[in-house]
Chains A and B, each alone.
Chain A
């Protein structure tokens, strides 16, 4: 079974954010729990086939949402209303990162199908991050950009 290391997938995520939104991220000094406590928007996406399944969560602070949404829409960060754009932004990030997860798990021959991204509340995302922390098949990755924080949880 293909496994994905945190370091390897971090590089994939960095490339995706740079390509789509010119947003540059690096490992955050904060722990996953600390990032989660500051994050205001959460989304998840499932990938599955007949033989296996995986999921990914995306949690972002207001600053990170503003930075990504502004860049993709060609606006200034102070023009972004996070109440309007927060959920669509984390859902689209989950969609894009989920697509990268599918490719990482088996490339273009992979029968895995991507589900639809959906919003999670604080309790739901907290339970998923706890599930990762208590097991061995997954990891949480805390990242920092110029404007905010991003937490990716992956379970496979």
Chain B
């Protein structure tokens, strides 16, 4: 499976949890990238594009909302899918993310199986 995933979360614990779910879903470790905030994520995408970004919102330096705003202004990133994995639950702020093209959302706290299912769903949509 040549699917590339970028995990963006400031928490090393959550990055490890997401990494585990993605590996269990069948993505090779070589296709995984990680970033600690939105700024780093944009830099990683410039180096190498990903198919999917698993994105936290509440991060230092550049948060998930700002990342999505930046991504929306860059046509070269238009085909990169974003899935929010976050504690954010505010309806208006999430609707704004949907307007900017975010189609997937998983609210923390989640069960590990829910994250694996989300990754599987993203694969299916990308095939």
Instruction: Name the one of B14, B90, B109 contacting A108, with C-beta atoms under 8 angstroms.
Output: B90
Give the residues in chain B near A20, CB-CB below 8 Å: 108-111
CB–CB A114/B20 < 8 A: no
Interface of A (DSSP majority class)? helix
A110/B90 contact (C-beta < 8 A), A73-B13, A92-B11, A116-B58 known = yes
A102 to B10, CA, bound (A): 20
Give the residues in chain A near B127, CB-CB below 8 Å: none
A19/B111 contact (C-beta < 8 A), A73-B20, A88-B13, A92-B14 known = yes
A106 to B84, CA, bound (A): 21
CB–CB A95/B58 < 8 A: yes
Chain A contact-residue range equals 20 to 34
On A, residues with C-beta under 8 Å from B are 15-17, 19-20, 69, 72-74, 85, 88-89, 91-92, 95-96, 98-100, 102-103, 107-111, 114, 116
A96 to B58, CA, bound (A): 11
A19 to B106, CA, bound (A): 13
Instruction: Name the one of A72, A103, A107 contacting B13, with C-beta atoms under 8 angstroms.
Output: A72
**Interface CB pairs A-B, < 8 A, 21:** A19-B109, A19-B111, A20-B109, A72-B16, A72-B17, A73-B16, A88-B13, A95-B11, A95-B58, A96-B87, A98-B87, A99-B86, A99-B89, A99-B107, A100-B87, A102-B87, A108-B90, A109-B91, A116-B10, A116-B58, A116-B60
